[in-house]
């Protein structure tokens, strides 16, 4: 007679290595998002006229709007880079969420703005490691829950 298969023996939660791989992959994805934001900021700044140049934007209102958009993109890039540094080493979700909230506050931004980037990072992992992908999705869910709990 064969013994019944115990599912927990074969299928379980991601292991410590999976969580560390997920943290590293999430951090790398956040760095990529930061690079995109930084490129957008630089491109917007290039559209602004110089002090002696009428430039492509001669209307002052449009120049102000472009300048504001460039500043916001640069701020998002800075927050994403800091988030990558915080998420990368791994750790407890509550502690990471607290550090993310502190970073956002220090930059004068709302931490809720990180939630879409974190979710997108979990979906855009450049790996075929299924365990790391699952761990990333779980970790982002934990981080989002901790961030929302901290705001509530």
Q: Using one digit for the tens of pLDDT, what is the confidence trace for 41-51?
A: 999 999 887 77
Distances (CA, A) of 87 to 7, 81, 123: 31, 10, 16
Q: Note whether 22 and 135 are within 8 A (CB).
A: yes
Q: How high is the mean pLDDT of the chain?
A: 86
**1 has a pLDDT exceeding 60:** no
What are the tens digits of pLDDT across the range 79-123? 999 999 999 999 999 999 999 999 999 999 999 999 999 999 999
- Residue 94 CB coordination number (10 Å): 15
Q: Note whether 66 and 48 are within 8 A (CB).
A: yes
């Amino acid at each position: 007679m064969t013994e019944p298969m115990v599912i927990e023996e074969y299928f379980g939660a991601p292991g410590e290595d999976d969580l560390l791989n997920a943290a590293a992959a999430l951090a790398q994805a956040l760095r990529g998002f930061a690079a995109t934001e930084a490129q957008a900021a630089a491109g917007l700044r290039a559209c602004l006229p110089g002090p002696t140049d009428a430039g492509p934007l001669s209307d002052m209102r449009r120049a102000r709007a472009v300048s504001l958009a460039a500043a916001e993109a640069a701020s998002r890039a800075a927050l994403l880079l800091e988030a990558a540094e915080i998420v990368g080493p791994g750790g407890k979700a509550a502690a990471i969420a607290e550090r993310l909230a502190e970073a956002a506050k220090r930059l004068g931004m709302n931490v809720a703005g990180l939630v879409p980037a974190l979710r997108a990072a979990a979906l855009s992992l450049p790996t075929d490691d299924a365990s790391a992908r699952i761990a990333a999705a779980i970790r982002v869910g934990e981080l989002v829950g901790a961030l929302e709990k901290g705001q509530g």
